[in-house]
Structure 1
Amino acid sequence: MFFDTAKIYVKGGDGGNGCVAFRREKYVPEGGPAGGDGGRGGNVILKVDPGLRTLVDFRYQRHYKAGRGQHGMGKNMHGRQGEDLILRVPPGTLVRDAATGEVIADLVYPGQEVVVARGGRGGRGNARFASAVNRAPRMAEKGEPGEERWLELELKLLADVGLVGFPNAGKSTLIARVSAARPKIADYPFTTLVPNLGVVRVDEGRSFVMADIPGLIEGAHAGAGLGHQFLRHTERTRLLVHVLDIAGSEGRDPLKDFEIINRELALYDPALAIRPMVVAANKMDLPGATENLDRLREALGDRYEIFPISALNGEGTTPLIYRLAELLDRLPAPEPVVEERVRVTRVEEPRFTVSRQNGVFVVEGREIERHVAMTDLENEEAVERLQRVISRMGLEDALREAGIREGDTVRIGKFEFTYIE
């Protein structure tokens, strides 16, 4: 089953909690704090597996979470780091943040990987908080929650040559003739509903990858006939082969078909309009093909190379394949894809912002939200430390300027507090 899009939820592992512990040994009557730190949570990683050709696995499981870090222990023993979760994707997978649309990575090369959700850091044990003022702290941090987000995965097949044309023009028959691919072939339109890949072997040690793109129709650039799903797979090809039903066996004019498909390619992506193209005049074994071939050569012969073929019996396919191999040798190799295709310039963000929503004062900011999430709110000493942090950050003054009054509700991250002067 072929799937070329998927939407998944990923979450890095939460960090382990820090530990509150003290040395309790014979002859050490006043042992100091000895609570270890929690381990960091695991990351969620996408990795290219060249053996995959579809995103079907992500259609049956959508939620993925990396391992949590182990909690800290006594005797200053730190917790174990959480296990990374590696999700394998096929070459050509584009990864976007579903909320912002930002392109996170374009995964193309075998073994290429990218971290899409980082694990949270482990909380510090009470040994970390010992000082000259407080020599026996009874507080520790909770682990930081791991990053979480929804991702959109989009697969764009990697192929050297892409076959385009109207439905039932003979694309599937051609790829079945020249490669080991075995797509469904039948005498009705839209027989092929998913792209097919085939390796075409020219000579010993010389081959290229051909993609059979399902039939396009007029309006495909706007999504007609699943046009968007099909056209995306032409974007990475270096060379296009326009397969025409030169016999006009379904009552269509081959020249008009050629104009329609080329227009749809240009409307979808202007870069496709200048992509090198070869014309395969298929179905030469049918009546009327010779007359239409003469018309085609008269109209396009000075702009495109035209190869009369019969994909059904193999006539003319050998010259076509050798010519495609020659053209691919001359065409530049695909430009290397940078892992982080879109690099967002970091803007200096405020430490926090305060807004009012439905009577609730909402405080947002990565730093303040992390402080609250890692505080053990059941521990009085930890809450006092959080209060000092909030005061030093200037949050209390900002809330007063926003008009807060005693008894109002303040929301920070997933937590709500009642404001008391």
Structure 2
Amino acid sequence: MTLCLGVETSCDETALALVRDGQLLAQRIATQVGAHAVFGGVVPELASREHLRALGPLLDGLVADTGVALGELDAVCVARGPGLLGSLLVGMSLAKGLVLATGAALVGVNHLWAHLLAPALERPMAFPALGLLVSGGHTQTYRMDNPVAFTTLGRTLDDAAGEAFDKAAKTLNLPYPGGRFIDVLGQLAEADPALFPRPYVANDNLDFSFSGLKTAMVNHVAANPDLRAPALVDDLDALVAALRARGALEPLARACASYNLAVADTLRIKTARALDASPGVRSLVVAGGVAANGMVRAAMTALARERGLDIVLPSLALCTDNAAMIALAGEYLFKAGYRHGLDLEAVPRGRSIPWDYLQGAPGQARAGGDWTLDTRTGRP
């Protein structure tokens, strides 16, 4: 029996979770959305301070929820990056302190890999797999040969899909975080496939660029200023009522639906190319905050069915940043013999996460084996 604590402070969600042999025992999350909404985006210094304020009470609550003593921990698994450096350092400090106090192993976890492993908390995953990570800061594809061996196929060159959603929402005067408002409003109208371009697809590579799509929305709103929503309304029902009262609901909903379709089509085109470059995969895994988008989920499900692949989508709760995924990813690494020393460093966005574990090399553990995960036992 292996007991792992997960620590997640990459951006604006503070989370702690306990996982035992692939099973989530409990999780505590504190969101900072309200603190950052007034600024229309995450303020790094404020995020760091909120993490520092929240971690102590979250840890106390997690222990109370489970009755687990910290001395029982086998490993403390912490998100080491990519993310906001100040935020990562807060979580790293807690993790190292717990390791010193309990004697548990320290395991640094790649936050992006953890997102793609999160669905294994809910259902079996078959490897090798093709992973599509779609979040606010990253849009990337990976070949996943097993839970500790990932190969990057395509990556974000500038704006990620989630950032494109947030910037479009801000242009439309929708509340922060705006991606969910675009998704829901888009379900109220038919998309116009010709309204927005499919960015950076007229090439033969696997990388992503959504800056052009974001600019297309800015130009569209500049030419149609009536699309902008009224003064920020956080309640969706109230926003829909206000838009309907001024006769602006249908054109705004159509713009949102068309933007959704442009993002989903772009992801589908690039993911199909990644599948062509990854023969032998058994499943398509889609994860990250944008994996909660209804049109993206539908497009990826259709693609997987076309290719005869298992589609693996996390529940909406596991799409956002969380500590359960960090604990699970760290458990796989720990069981494969990988751990870090107390000199473990946080890695901010824009830098590659090094493979600097004290034992082994990427993919050596169980490489080539049958890594179909059984969530009933937590073991492959």
Using the size of structure 2 for normalisation, the TM-score is 0.23
More strand by share: 1
Structure of greater Rg:
1
Using the size of structure 1 for normalisation, the TM-score is 0.21
